[in-house]
């Protein structure tokens, strides 16, 4: 292996969103020395890498994806890092080593870990994982009025801090279904806007309607009940724009519920973009369901026991040490947040959800779910509305309307058949088969042993 060559290719650089407790450079420095305590003392989102001799360290939170790929060049491994699979592939193509690439060779950095990789040659050792987020589990109050106050107070502080960084002349879009999380986000953003001396009406709610959708009706009823109808817009989009294959290309994943959600998200954001060409900032309620475990268990292979005994299951999946852990994708919302991040990024928005931030996740994790539920699955399905409504009442003094839970893709109208994971994965594979056909042939491709200085 040739010494003295920097074998790290960072295609995106350090990124943060709503970061508190440290500056960007401090986060990078903490990652370099694998300082879990320093990273754990921050809040908000970050994704960055740092090099320490032959060791490269990578870390991220839920809201900003990060991937890596090990390429073989110049008699040694090159670590290529980006937020997207296709961006890594394009770099490999530019270096004429696309023939080495396969999307399944890329790895997603799991949220809330420092990943350590030693670049010592072939074979490269497995990564090591150092956790930096350790919330206290089930140590909070079982009284839902108190639990709601803690949860929403944490979320409101995050919204207020994030909004304080948005230029005062900028408008902020709320992806609004009229459901519990998006209504709470709208109310918190408008209250924070008042406290910061901003124009409250610069906070605008947008609801996707493909014709007869339940979301549009409940969203309109919600804003009228709250006296905010003037700050709401219905985004009418033709059902023909709902494109699952486009969504798979954008999110680079094949989990069907995330693909369906992303397809609807692309329709909403494209509709907003047509009306408001300069609107950049976007708030949503993604992560609220995960925090309060508000998913129907009958739609999965999960049991109430598995959910309660794995407190961050919905945020992180089974964990990096579990048999079910995938090296290509992390688990839970750590994987699934691309359904929000990627469509927003593709259409020029900066997306942020207060419910995906660590302090808010910790506030939810502190609720003693086993004690509150008492083994009753049906109580789980009403828990989120009780916690959030109580918190909004306590923190903002507003009686929030509560509507039934439905998935984003199910509430936009025009019934569509559900797709399977097999179908989505077949589309994903076909997309990459087509891309990989464009790699240089044997006469054009570069050998991993070629040293540029010796050519």
Question: Given a cut of 80, is residue 438 above it in pLDDT?
Answer: no
Residue 233 bridge partners (DSSP): 206
Q: Which pLDDT score, from 0 to 100, does residue 214 have?
A: 84
Tell me the per-residue pLDDT of 73-104, one tens digit each, with 9 for 90 and over: 877 788 999 999 999 999 999 988 999 999 99
Residue 124 binned pLDDT confidence (cut-offs 50, 70, 90): confident
Identify which of 296, 294, 235 has the alpha carbon closest to the alpha carbon of residue 269: 235
Q: In the chain, which residues fall in CATH 3.40.50.620? A: 144-429
Q: Which pLDDT score, from 0 to 100, does residue 451 have?
A: 65
Q: Which residues in 53-189 belong to E strands, given as ranges?
A: 55-60, 67-73, 76-82, 107-108, 113-118, 128-131, 172-175
Question: Given a cut of 70, is residue 3 above it in pLDDT?
Answer: no
% of the chain residues with pLDDT over 90: 81
Q: Which pLDDT score, from 0 to 100, does residue 327 have?
A: 85
Tell me what the mean pLDDT of segment 217-244 comes to: 94
Tell me the per-residue pLDDT of 285-315, one tens digit each, with 9 for 90 and over: 999 999 999 998 887 888 999 999 999 999 9
Least confident of 41-55, 186-200, 230-244, 407-421: 407-421
Question: Given a cut of 70, is residue 2 above it in pLDDT?
Answer: no
Residue 206 bridge partners (DSSP): 175, 233
CA distance 99 to 228: 55
Helix (H, G, I), strand (E, B) or coil at 358: helix
Helix (H, G, I), strand (E, B) or coil at 44: strand
Q: Which pLDDT score, from 0 to 100, does residue 448 have?
A: 67
Q: Which is more confident, 337 or 406?
A: 337
Tell me what the mean pLDDT of segment 131-147 comes to: 97
- 92 within 8 A of 71, measured Cβ to Cβ: yes
Tell me the per-residue pLDDT of 26-55, one tens digit each, with 9 for 90 and over: 999 999 999 999 999 999 999 999 999 889
Q: Six-digit token pair at 410? A: 């199910």
For residue 56, report the phi and psi dihedrals to the nearest 5 degrees: -110, 135
CA distance 349 to 449: 41
Least confident of 118-132, 219-233, 235-249: 118-132
CA distance 187 to 59: 32
What is the topology classification, in CATH, of domain 144-429?
A: Rossmann fold (3.40.50)
Cβ-Cβ contacts under 8 Å for 451 (sequence gap 6 or more): 2, 74, 75
Question: Given a cut of 80, is residue 156 above it in pLDDT?
Answer: yes
What is the topology classification, in CATH, of domain 8-133?
A: 3.60.20
Tell me the per-residue pLDDT of 355-393, one tens digit each, with 9 for 90 and over: 999 999 999 999 999 999 999 999 999 999 999 999 999
Q: Which pLDDT score, from 0 to 100, does residue 139 have?
A: 96
Residue 446 binned pLDDT confidence (cut-offs 50, 70, 90): confident
- 148 within 8 A of 394, measured Cβ to Cβ: yes
Identify which of 206, 12, 6, 215 has the alpha carbon closest to the alpha carbon of residue 109: 12
- Radius of gyration of the CA atoms of the chain, in A: 23
Tell me the per-residue pLDDT of 17-26, one tens digit each, with 9 for 90 and over: 999 999 999 9
Q: Which pLDDT score, from 0 to 100, does residue 417 have?
A: 72
Q: Which pLDDT score, from 0 to 100, does residue 119 have?
A: 85
Q: In the chain, which residues fall in CATH 3.60.20.10? A: 8-133
What global pTM score does this model have? 0.94
- Kindly report whether the peptide bond that precedes residue 123 is cis, defined as omega within 30 degrees of 0: yes
Q: Which is more confident, 413 or 260?
A: 260
Count of all residues that appear for the chain in the document = 455
């Amino acid at each position: 292996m040739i010494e003295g060559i920097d074998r790290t290719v960072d295609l995106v650089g350090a990124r943060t969103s709503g970061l508190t407790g440290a500056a960007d450079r401090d986060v990078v420095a903490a990652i370099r020395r694998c300082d879990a305590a320093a990273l754990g003392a921050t809040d908000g989102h970050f994704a960055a890498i740092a090099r320490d001799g032959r060791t490269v360290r990578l870390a991220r939170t839920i809201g900003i994806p990060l991937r890596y790929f090990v390429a073989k060049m110049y008699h040694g491994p090159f670590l290529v890092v980006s937020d997207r699979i296709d961006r890594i592939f394009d770099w490999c193509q530019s270096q004429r080593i696309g023939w080495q690439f396969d999307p399944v060779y890329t790895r997603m950095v799991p949220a809330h870990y420092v990943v350590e990789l030693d670049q010592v040659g072939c074979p490269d050792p497995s990564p090591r994982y150092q956790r930096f987020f350790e919330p206290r589990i089930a140590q909070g109050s079982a009284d839902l009025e108190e639990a709601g106050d803690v949860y929403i107070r944490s979320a409101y502080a995050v919204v207020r801090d994030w909004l304080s960084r948005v230029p005062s002349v900028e408008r902020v879009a709320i992806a609004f279904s009229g459901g519990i999380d998006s209504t709470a986000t709208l109310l918190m953003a408008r209250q924070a806007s008042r406290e910061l001396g901003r124009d409250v009406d610069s906070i605008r709610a947008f609801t996707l309607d493909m014709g007869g959708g339940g979301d549009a009706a409940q969203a309109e009823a919600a804003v009228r009940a709250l006296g905010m109808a003037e700050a709401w817009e219905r985004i009418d989009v033709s059902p023909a724009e709902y494109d699952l294959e486009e969504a798979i290309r954008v999110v680079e994943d094949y989990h069907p519920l995330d693909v369906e959600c992303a397809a609807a998200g692309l329709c909403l954001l494209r509709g907003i973009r047509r009306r408001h060409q300069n609107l950049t900032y976007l708030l949503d309620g993604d992560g609220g369901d995960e925090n309060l475990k508000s998913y129907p268990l009958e739609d999965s292979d999960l049991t109430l026991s598995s959910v309660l005994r794995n407190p961050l299951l919905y945020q992180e999946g089974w964990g990096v040490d579990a048999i079910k852990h995938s090296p290509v994708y992390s688990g839970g919302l750590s994987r699934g947040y691309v359904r929000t991040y990627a469509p927003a990024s593709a259409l020029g928005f900066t997306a942020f959800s207060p419910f995906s931030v660590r302090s808010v996740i910790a506030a939810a994790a502190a609720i003693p779910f086993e004690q509150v539920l008492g083994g009753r699955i049906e109580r789980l399905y009403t828990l989120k509305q009780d916690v959030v409504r109580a918190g909004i009442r306590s923190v903002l003094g507003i009686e929030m309307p509560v509507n039934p839970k439905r998935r984003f893709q199910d509430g936009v109208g025009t019934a569509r058949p559900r797709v399977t994971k097999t179908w989505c994965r077949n589309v994903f594979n076909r997309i990459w088969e087509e891309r990989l056909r464009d790699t240089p042939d044997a006469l054009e491709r570069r050998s991993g042993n070629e040293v540029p200085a010796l050519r």
